[in-house]
């Protein structure tokens, strides 16, 4: 296997999926955001965004906090320290492939 293919095959599969990569990249630029912000920025459906966030949370890359603003439910999202490290490693791996 050539070196480029090897480098690509070793990328983090959780982050490599385009929808999850977009979410992680958006979260890397902010301290935290709410679900509606990500919904608007990604233009995903609610179900699709929820599914991707669950996978990222399971991997330990995203922290999801359910709270309220007054009486209105709110979901806050943050990229965790391991999530930031994984994104950094992903970027390095992608650069190594090319």
Given a cut of 60, is residue 1 above it in pLDDT? no
Tally of structural domains, the chain:
1
Q: DSSP letter string over 40-67?
A: HHH---HHHHHHHHHHHHHTTSEEEEEE
Task: Tell me which residue range forms the domain holding 64.
Answer: 3-92
Q: Say what the pTM is.
A: 0.90
Burial of 67 by CB count in 10 Å (0-12 exposed, 13-18 middle, 19+ buried)? exposed
pLDDT in tens, 48-65: 999 999 999 999 999 999
Q: Does 98 reside within a domain?
A: no
Residue corresponding to tokens 């609610």: 46
Q: Is residue 87 part of a domain?
A: yes
């Amino acid at each position: 296997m050539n070196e480029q293919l090897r480098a690509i095959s070793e990328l983090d599969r959780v982050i490599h999926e385009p929808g999850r990569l977009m979410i992680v990249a958006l979260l890397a630029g902010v301290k935290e955001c709410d679900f509606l912000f990500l919904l608007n920025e990604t233009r995903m459906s609610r179900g699709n965004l929820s599914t991707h966030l669950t996978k990222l949370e399971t991997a330990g890359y995203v922290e999801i906090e359910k709270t309220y603003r007054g009486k209105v439910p709110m979901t806050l999202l943050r990229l965790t320290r391991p999530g930031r490290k994984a994104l950094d490693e992903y970027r390095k791996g992608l650069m190594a492939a090319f």
